[in-house]
Structure 1
Amino acid sequence: MSRLSLNSDSGAVSFASVREGAHPQAGLGRQAMALLFLAWVLFALITLSRGPSLGDHEVIVAQIARQTLQTGDWIVPQYLDTPFLMKPPLAPWLVAAVTKALPDRWATHWISEEFIPRLPSVLATLATALILLRLARDMFGVTAARITTFAYLTSVGAMLFALNATVEAVLTLLCTWAFAEFWWSRRATGSARRWHQAAFYLALGLAMLAKGPMPLMVVCAPIAVYWWLDRPLRRLTAARPGRIRGAMSRLVFDAWPRLKLALTSLGLWWGVPLFLMMFLPWMFLVARREPYFWELWNYEYLDRLEGDYPGVKSGGYWYYAPLLLGLAMPWSLSVPEALAAPFLRAYRSHRRPMRYAWCWVLVTVAILSLMSFKKPYYLLPALPGCMLLLGPVLERFFLHRPAVNPRRTKWIGLVFVVLASAGAIIAWFVGDHMFHEAWHPPVTWGTLVIAGLIIAGMYGAVRLYGAAAAPTSPQRIRSLVAVGASCVTGFLVTWTLLGPALGNCDDPRALVQHLRDANVSDDAPLYWASNRPDGRVTYYCRREVLQVMDPYKLIAQRRNRASNEDLRRTAATRLCELLESERPVYIVFEREDYENLKLFYRPPARLLCEVDRGEAGADEDDWVVATNAGVSRQP
């Protein structure tokens, strides 16, 4: 039997296919959802209190926030002793605001140094889940909405980036809000439509302040494609003769009418100024104080888009496909069906909203795949769209699909665990190769036991997935809950037990201790020569670090006018000037950089101490501290 429901808030009509005799809301009521959010908050509090230390990018956000509160300058972000203008400032602003809102005793005595920097991401993930709950309810009905929210909060991608101090979770929240407001604006009328449109432009502008210009690619492009392809896709999914020809004709002949409709009905004439007001004032204020700002952003974004950027990871066009499956775990087995769902007859009552979510995911993946610069976390804003596609699919699989052969699910589980185990082993060695200087987790018997338990839990999760073949609805619901709960439990164990060992700040602490053992005063100037300074030295150890020169200003001023070799020569000249000066200075190098400087420039310097990083023994990634103190200078 089909049920027709009218949503009084937005005026949206939702068709939900419900089988006779099924009770899909059993066990998924409001009390269960309230319990889900409370359990997730408890999970967040535990993982915020214990886990790996802040990573390289996380420390940048946390340190900028700390210096913002110390200096009172909220316009130009300061990282260590130089302006940090590579990224918009919303993430450190949020961390600084949370720090300022909490009592000083909390920040200094009762919570860890990772708690506050990661708290905005946790709150952003919860807000994203609430938006998904309402959006999926309007699209698919109450049951699918609750399953969508449950799947999102128990997915690896949501949990992993909820506990990351970078801006990714906040960006995902703002992009999800923008997608939701656009959908609601197309279903509302009168003043309600204007309010939803205003909220859309507001969310999009704030997303630019979080990580511009990424929202233009992961929000505007998918919505534009949906706007253009909605009617052709409707023809294509219609079960009638000539649908392909009809879809192609609509694709061509609808282009101009749809463009005119967009110009007249989307509020562009007042929405675009509202959108620009969210981030342009900050950009102009920064440019007044740092004139090289515009050149730096051209380098950071245009050069990166073209692939002319240090550290570009090209990757193949398939780069993001396995990442999407990984972020969606433990629901990855249903992702292929979810991506095909808008074109399957079983989901014909949900085709229009599923087409919207389909464009959200597929267009984002396509655009990111075409970019020469690829990072795994770029894909995170597509995860809520993937969960929207998964909601009706999981509802049908766990509540309405006929029973399947349990033996088949057993073999699927075995194959899945074998592939996942092989992938984990490969990732271990690939991680050591790609991130050698930061990848040196100890392999102990405890580590192997925990890894074995995680693999066993993965197999159990797949078997629980197969338990959806049970004939009764309560058993199926328990199977659905058990899949998500097993993933959360595995993540919790990994984060709290393995996390502190896999991600620690032993190297920065060892560096500071070596300096103290060498009787170097904490006030003595400590410069950082190789790559970007490790902010953990300042954030955790309270040891001030200076940069040899402002690298971003140097890059901006010499962009398109100097080669990388010229920039390296400029830096080497500055290092020699420091070492030849009369005052004692201390400079941190990577061993290979120091040996090259000694070989080609022969500055007056001696090796003070070194920090063994990675594998035991001297290697090119070790830190060494060079100084001119106690070195005789030849006339």
Structure 2
Amino acid sequence: MYQPINTPQQTVNLSLKAIIEQKPWLVLLLLFFATYCVNLLLPRDLWVQDEMRYGEVVREMLSTGNWLVPHLNGAPYPDKPALYFWIICIVSSLLGQGEFAFRIVSTLATLLAGIGIFQVGNFIAGRQCGFWASVLFGSSLLTLIVGQIVRMDMLLTAMTIFSWLMLLHFDRNPQKRWLFGFWALCAFSLAIKGPISLLFTLLPGAIWIINKNGVASLSKLRPIIGLLAILGLVAIWVLAVYQSGQGAYLSTIWHQQLVGRTINSWSHKEPIYFYLLLLPILIMPWVGPILSGLTKAFKQDHALSRSIIIFAMVPLVGISLVSGKLFIYLEPLVPALCVAGAMAIHPVDAKIKTSPWFSWPPVLYLLAMSGLIIYISQHYLNQTASHALWIAMATTTLAIMSAISTRFNFNHWLYATSMTSVIFSWLIFGGMTTLLNPLFSARALAHTVSEHAANTKPVAVINVTRGILNYYASRTFTEVDLSSAESWATLHPDALLIIKTSDLATAFPNKVIPSSCKVNHTFQIELKEYHVLAQC
């Protein structure tokens, strides 16, 4: 009797499936290193605005030795807690101060989050669910962005995942170590991002416990003890700040960050449904499986399924009610969405044809990204426009390959889409960011400042957001508003001025500056033109 002959493609796929089942960690690590670590090795400056601002906070923390209170351009910086900056400072002390130290923290936080989401998926529905939840998370557009920029949001995401995991373990086996872990992670998240972090950790955790076991069961979390412990840690830091003679910083936090933001939360520039419109794009290329998984979780009357819904929807509603809306704020709820997507993936028969609802959105997504790259190349890139067009062609090729994969069976489509995401990461976050680097970096401007202004010579930034141009100049600037720019320049004829072209007519209505300045250099940063003026 004749035996069927396996084609090479079948053999490879069977081997890959066996490796995923037997050594999922090995596959996940390879995907992680391919997706993130290759780009990490490519040089990139810190970009205006947030990256440069955080870089300057760390630079001043290291140069002054004042780790207790973050400073920006010499003034206390109340916008973010200190823990994230402490972590960067420690890494900088080990690896040297520079862009790599900043970026590797985000990379390692992404790895930590991936480990956590594997554990959560494994707890809820087994190893295959954990594996695919981690794959979906690491290859989603929003994670690709947040995992490769300098921000604290990926650390908050990791804290969110592990607080969820601690709560799941505590509910199954109510030991003190799980409860301690949950509250410790809530405290860490608070120290990383501030009070808004509790929307992702404590609030959904408490709601899930109540939903599962009733209001009376909330006492098992020891909420009074947990909250008092967090308040105690905050009180220790407050006392240390007060004893150091920096009590005014505490007043600024209270009035500007807590009271001010609470009041402003009822004033919305963007509509309350802003995040709902963005979310389908930000979870590409997995929007089909994720929405299908959420629908499945809604229909299931199971506590673990409800935890997915609660850890996704409660933070979404919470941040939608906050006035300041940035798409990056959605990252901590992506893990719950990816667990839902994995639940839609792993029970599917691997031999069936892939649903168009799953397979065609990634094709349209890649075509849209290719069109966006072409638009950027034509409007914002000059000498490197041809390089961007090659990247657009490569992205279009990925879209064609993705379209071909729609005819594959389900397993093959999953493998193809995962590998497409790796290559997409190289093209966009390796190739395009290299081309865009000169447009968002202030390094050249800072070098000009250093060339024309000694440390004792005053440098003024006129109507420029605080701290976004300091890092590469390695110094603080005098901040001058438009109304007093002309008088300040008259009093300091030897000063160096930094001003946007759009502000020149307002700041200097007599137009003597910049025509009278012997030094007049222009720079394009963040699509704005800046002048560096001296010897006027």
Give the TM-score normalised by structure 2: 0.85
| 2:3 paired residue number | none
Please tell me whether residue 202 in structure 1 is matched to residue 136 in structure 2.
no
Please tell me whether residue 300 in structure 1 is matched to residue 231 in structure 2.
no
**What amino acid maps onto 1:482 in structure 2?**
A
Rounded Cα–Cα distance in structure 1 between residues aligned with 2:187 and 2:403:
41
**What amino acid maps onto 1:455 in structure 2?**
T
User: What does 1:477-492 align with in structure 2 at a 5 Å threshold?
Assistant: 478-492=412-426
Rounded Cα–Cα distance in structure 2 between residues aligned with 1:297 and 1:503:
37
Q: Per-residue CA shift, 1:330-389, capped at 9, x if unaligned?
A: 212212101111234xxx5x8321210111111222222232221011100001111111
Rounded Cα–Cα distance in structure 1 between residues aligned with 2:371 and 2:258:
34
Please tell me whether residue 343 in structure 1 is matched to residue 298 in structure 2.
yes
Please tell me whether residue 528 in structure 1 is matched to residue 461 in structure 2.
yes
Instruction: Identify if the C-alpha distance between structure 1 residues 286 and 441 changes in structure 2 by more than 3 Å, giving closer, same or farther.
Output: farther
User: What does 1:117-266 align with in structure 2 at a 5 Å threshold?
Assistant: 117-189=102-174, 192=175, 194-230=176-212, 258-262=214-218, 264-266=219-221
Q: Per-residue CA shift, 1:406-442, capped at 9, x if unaligned?
A: 7x74x9866753465347647987x99xxx9xx6676
User: What does 1:135-534 align with in structure 2 at a 5 Å threshold?
Assistant: 135-189=120-174, 192=175, 194-230=176-212, 258-262=214-218, 264-286=219-241, 288-307=245-264, 314-344=269-299, 348=300, 351-397=302-348, 400=349, 403-404=352-353, 409=356, 417-418=363-364, 421-422=367-368, 425=371, 444-461=385-402, 463-464=404-405, 467-469=408-410, 476=411, 478-504=412-438, 508-512=442-446, 514=448, 520-521=453-454, 523-533=456-466
Please tell me whether residue 611 in structure 1 is matched to residue 518 in structure 2.
no
Q: Per-residue CA shift, 1:590-634, capped at 9, x if unaligned?
A: 12323212239999995441414279xxx9x4212345x55xxxx
Instruction: Identify if the C-alpha distance between structure 1 residues 314 and 462 changes in structure 2 by more than 3 Å, giving closer, same or farther.
Output: farther
**What amino acid maps onto 1:261 in structure 2?**
S
Rounded Cα–Cα distance in structure 2 between residues aligned with 1:442 and 1:351:
57
Rounded Cα–Cα distance in structure 1 between residues aligned with 2:370 and 2:215:
47
Q: Report how far residue 297 of structure 1 moved.
A: 4.5
Rounded Cα–Cα distance in structure 2 between residues aligned with 1:516 and 1:142:
55
Q: Report how far residue 307 of structure 1 moved.
A: 3.6
Rounded Cα–Cα distance in structure 1 between residues aligned with 2:239 and 2:510:
43
**What amino acid maps onto 1:371 in structure 2?**
V
- Which has the higher mean CA deviation after the structures are superposed, 50-59 or 207-216? 50-59
Q: Per-residue CA shift, 1:134-177, capped at 9, x if unaligned?
A: 22212111221122222222323223222112101111111111
CA RMSD of aligned residues (A): 3.6
| 2:11 paired residue number | none
Instruction: Report how many residues are paired.
Output: 518
Please tell me whether residue 581 in structure 1 is matched to residue 491 in structure 2.
yes
Please tell me whether residue 625 in structure 1 is matched to residue 532 in structure 2.
yes
Secondary structure at 1:26 match in 2 = helix
Contact 2:265 2:321 in 1 (8 A): no
- Which has the higher mean CA deviation after the structures are superposed, 172-181 or 154-163? 154-163
Alignment gaps of 5+ in structure 1? 1-21, 232-257, 470-475, 550-567, 631-635
Q: Report how far residue 508 of structure 1 moved.
A: 3.0
Q: Report how far residue 533 of structure 1 moved.
A: 4.3
Residue among 74, 78, 88 paired with 2:71: 78
Secondary structure at 2:442 match in 1 = helix
Give the TM-score normalised by structure 1: 0.72
Instruction: Identify if the C-alpha distance between structure 1 residues 29 and 83 changes in structure 2 by more than 3 Å, giving closer, same or farther.
Output: same
Q: Per-residue CA shift, 1:313-333, capped at 9, x if unaligned?
A: 732333223433333222122
Q: Report how far residue 37 of structure 1 moved.
A: 0.9
Instruction: Identify if the C-alpha distance between structure 1 residues 24 and 136 changes in structure 2 by more than 3 Å, giving closer, same or farther.
Output: farther
Residue among 11, 17, 21 paired with 1:29: 21
| 1:41 paired residue number | 33
Contact 2:523 2:529 in 1 (8 A): yes
Rounded Cα–Cα distance in structure 2 between residues aligned with 1:32 and 1:199:
26
Instruction: Identify if the C-alpha distance between structure 1 residues 144 and 419 changes in structure 2 by more than 3 Å, giving closer, same or farther.
Output: closer
Secondary structure at 1:53 match in 2 = coil
Rounded Cα–Cα distance in structure 2 between residues aligned with 1:51 and 1:335:
34
Q: Report how far residue 443 of structure 1 moved.
A: 6.5
Residue among 584, 594, 608 paired with 2:504: 594
| 1:547 paired residue number | 478
**What amino acid maps onto 2:189 in structure 1?**
A
Rounded Cα–Cα distance in structure 1 between residues aligned with 2:417 and 2:479:
52
Contact 1:143 1:395 in 2 (8 A): yes
State which structure, 1 or 2, has the greater radius of gyration over its C-alpha atoms: 1
Contact 1:174 1:204 in 2 (8 A): yes
Contact 1:62 1:95 in 2 (8 A): no
Q: Report how far residue 210 of structure 1 moved.
A: 0.5
Contact 1:54 1:114 in 2 (8 A): yes
**What amino acid maps onto 1:133 in structure 2?**
F
Q: Report how far residue 122 of structure 1 moved.
A: 1.2
**What amino acid maps onto 2:257 in structure 1?**
E
Alignment gaps of 5+ in structure 2? 1-13
Q: Percent identity?
A: 17
- Which has the higher mean CA deviation after the structures are superposed, 177-186 or 164-173? 177-186
